[in-house]
Amino acid sequence: MGWRASQHAGTLTWDGQVWCLHGQSRASEDALGQVQVTLDMQRALLLRFQPVSETLHAKSVWLWLGAEVAGTHWQDLRRAVYQRANID
């Protein structure tokens, strides 16, 4: 799923266990983390991405995601942000 902000663009992926934030900036590496839904407006989500690695020095990143960016994957994204990781 991609997002776009006034200064940043990148990709947020979910593998069923962990979220990964890709391409936040050219200088930073990909970061693994967790997402928390802060605001759900049905056609837009405000997410708080909390890194679990030292990649972003544990600073939260706020992400606005919209249905128009996600296209046909919007409902999949909505399900994923509310899904808990399967820990065996």
* Of residues 68, 12, 53, 72, the one with CA closest to residue 36: 12
Rounded-to-integer distance, Cα 45 and Cα 48, Å: 10
In the predicted model, is pLDDT for residue 54 greater than 50? yes
The pLDDT-based confidence of 5 (bands split at 50, 70, 90) is very low
Q: Give pLDDT, residue 35.
A: 93
> Is residue 31 in a domain?
yes
Tell me how far apart the alpha carbons of residues 7 and 85 are, in angstroms, rounded to a whole number.
31
Q: What is the domain extent for residue 18?
A: 2-82
Cβ–Cβ contacts within 10 Å for residue 77, how many? 19
Residue 88 within any structural domain of the chain: no
- The pTM (predicted TM-score) of the whole model is 0.74
pLDDT at position 3 over 90:
no
pLDDT at residue 69 is higher than 90: no
Instruction: Report yes or no on 44 lying in a domain.
Output: yes
Count of domains for the chain: 1
- Per-residue pLDDT at 16: 87
Whether 87 maps to a domain, the answer reads: no
Phi and psi at residue 71, to the nearest 5°: 60, -130
pLDDT tens, residue by residue, 9-28: 678 899 888 899 887 666 56
